[in-house]
Amino acid sequence: MSRKSLNKTITAVLLSGSLFFMGTGAVSAEEVVDLTLDNSVQMALENNRTIKQSYYDTDAARWALKEAKGQKGLTISWQGSAASLNGSYYNQLNRDESYGNVLEAAIPLYTGGQLENNIKANEIGVDISDLNLENTKQQIKFDTTEGYYNILQARNLVGVNEETVSQLQEHLNVVSARYAAGTVAKSDVLRSQTELADAQQNLVNAENNYDLSMSSLNNIIGLPIQTKLNIKDELRYTKYDLNFDECVDTAMANRPDGVAAIKAVEQAQAMVDAAKAGNLPQVEAYTSYTIDGNDAFKDDAAEQAQVGIRANWNIFDNNVTKAQVRQAEAALYKAQEQAQYIREGIQLEVHQAYLSLLAAEKNIKTTSVAVNQATEDYQIAQVRYSAGVGTNIDVMDASVALTTARTNYVQALYDYNVSKAQLDKAMGMPVDLDVQAVAAKTY
C-alpha cells in the first residue's frame, strides 16, 4: 500500500466515523435501529476504535520505512561556531575571536549492509503492521458476530421465559378454579403461585440480559449504548461442510498472526545482519565548504573546499559490536520460538472450534427431540391434572423440564453459530487483506 493510498484509507475511516456519529449521535433510547449481521460487521469495521488505532500503527510503520530509506540518501548539514581566544599563541597572531562555518554534503557508499538490512527490516515491519491490522479486523468481526448472536440468544430466552410464565399463569387459573370448587388443597395454589413468581423473576432477568447484550453490541459497532436494536436474523442451523484437515490447512495459509510471526523471524534475521555490519568499515563520499576567520563572513576569512571519500572502521570497540550481534541473535531465537508457539496455538484453536461445532451440532438434534418430548409430557400432565388423576407436582415438574429443554435448544443453536464464527476466525477467513500475497513477498 502506498503512502498516498494509506492516507486516503485513514482519512476515509475517520470521515466515515465522523459522519456516522453525526448521523447516529442523535439516536435516542426510544428509537430503533434495524440490523442484520452483515451491516453490523460493516459498521464495526468502519467505527471500532481498536481498528482505528491499528491504522495508525500501519502509518507509523510506513514512516519508519521512509526514515530507514532516507539514511541511504544525501544529507546536507551546516555547523557554525564562535569562540573567544586567549593565550600566547593567539596573542602573537593578534586574534582574540574565532568564527567558523562549515557546510557539508555527504552520502553513504558502503555500510557493510547496515543500511540495507535496516531498510529490509522496516519493509518487513510494514508487512507485519498490515497483517496485524487484518488480524484486528478479523477479531472485531468475530466479536461483532458473537455479540449479534448474544442478542439472538437473549431474545429467544426471553421468548422461552414468556412462554413459561404464560403456561404457569394458565395453570394457576385452573388450580384456583379447582380450589374454589373444593377439589384440590390450598397447597396446590401456593405451589403454583410460587412457581409463577419464580418464572416471572427469570423473565425479568432474561429481559435484562437482552438489554445488556444490545448495549454490548452497540459498543462494538459504534452506536450509543442505549440504542434499541431490531435484529433481523434468527438463530438457525446451517450445515458447515469442511473437514478438520481442510480447516487446519486453511488456517496455516491464511492466519495473519501466523504469517506475521514468520515475518517477525525474517525481520529479526535482518537485524542480526545489520548488527554484524559493525565489524565492517563505513565509507561515504562528501564535499564541504569551510569559512574561518576573526569575523563572521568577512572578506578576510579563510576559505576551504573539499571533495573526497572518508572511511571509518572500528578495529576494536571493546566487544560492543559483538554484544549487539548477540542481542540481535537472542531476539531472532525468541522470534523463532514465538512463531512456532503461534502456529501450534493456531492448530489448537482450530481443533477446539471444530470440536465445539460438532458438539453443538449433535446437541441441536438431541435438544430438538427433547423439546418435542417435554412439550408432550407437559400437555399430558395438564390433562391428567384437569381430570383429577394427576398431581400438581407432576405439572410443575413437566413445566420445569419443558423450560429446560427449550433453553437447552436455544443454547445449542447459539453454541453452533458462535462456534462456526470462531472456526472462521481460527481459519483466518479474510476481511480486507490477501494474507497469502503478503506471505509471498521477499526483500
How do residues 369-406 score in pLDDT, each as one tens digit? 999 999 999 999 999 999 989 999 999 999 999 999 99
- The 10s digit of each residue's pLDDT in 301-351 is 788 999 999 999 999 999 999 999 999 999 999 999 999 999 999 999 999
Cα–Cα distance measured from residue 306 to residue 293, given in angstroms and rounded to the nearest whole number: 18
Mean of all residue pLDDT scores within the chain = 91
pLDDT of 90: 64
> At 231, phi and psi to the nearest 5?
-80, 125
Q: Which long-range contacts does 318-326 make (Cβ < 8 Å, 24+ apart)?
A: 320/278, 321/275, 321/276, 321/278, 321/279, 324/275, 324/278, 325/272, 325/275, 325/276, 325/278
Q: What gap in Å lies between CA 237 and CA 420, rounded to an integer?
A: 10
> Would you state the cell numbers that stand for residue 143, as one nine-digit string?
466479536
Q: What is the pLDDT of residues 258-291, one digit of tens each?
A: 999 999 999 999 999 999 999 999 999 999 999 8
Has residue 55 got a pLDDT over 70?
Answer: yes
pLDDT tens digits for 218-241? Answer: 999 999 999 999 998 999 999 988
Write out the three cell numbers for 296. Answer: 563572521
DSSP annotation of 112 reads T
The secondary element (H helix, E strand) that includes residue 308 is strand 302-312
Q: What is the C-alpha separation between 36 and 230, in angstroms, rounded?
A: 9
As separate numbers, helices (DSSP H) first and strands (DSSP E) second, the chain gives: 11, 6
Single-letter code of the amino acid located at 268: A
> Which residue reads 551546516 in cell numbers?
78
Q: What is the pLDDT of residue 104?
A: 97
What does the alpha-carbon distance between residue 255 and residue 262 come to, in Å, rounded to a whole number? Answer: 11
Task: Give the model's pLDDT for residue 293.
Answer: 77
d(CA 300, CA 283): 34
Grid cell at residue 184: 384440590
From the list 137, 167, 115, the residue with the least C-alpha distance to 58 is 137
The secondary structure of residue 219, as a DSSP letter, is H
Domain 3-73+112-279+318-439: homologous superfamily in CATH: Outer membrane efflux proteins (OEP) (1.20.1600.10)
CA-based nearest residue to 429, from 242, 264, 267: 242
* Closest CA relative to residue 149, chosen from 208, 263, 231: 231
184 contacts 389 by C-beta, under 8 angstroms: no
User: How far, in Å, are 162, 170, 171, 346 from residue 371 at the CA level?
Assistant: 16, 20, 19, 37
For 281, phi then psi, to 5°, come to -70, 155
Amino acid 97 reads E
Question: Rounded distance, CA 379 to CA 398, Å?
Answer: 9
Convert the pLDDT of each residue in 2-21 to its tens digit.
444 544 444 444 444 443 44
pLDDT bucket at 296, cuts 50 / 70 / 90: low
Residue ranges of domains in the chain? 3-73+112-279+318-439
Distance of CA 8 to the CA centre of its chain: 22
pLDDT digits 0-9 by tens, 105-137: 999 999 999 999 999 999 999 999 999 999 999
Query: Which of the 8 DSSP states describes residue 94?
Result: T
373: phi then psi, degrees, rounded to nearest 5: -65, -45
Pick the closest to residue 161 from 193, 189, 195 (CA basis): 195
- What SS3 state is found at 155? helix
* Positive or negative torsion for Cα 60, 61, 62, 64: positive
List, for residues 176-197, the tens digit of each pLDDT value.
999 999 999 999 999 999 999 9
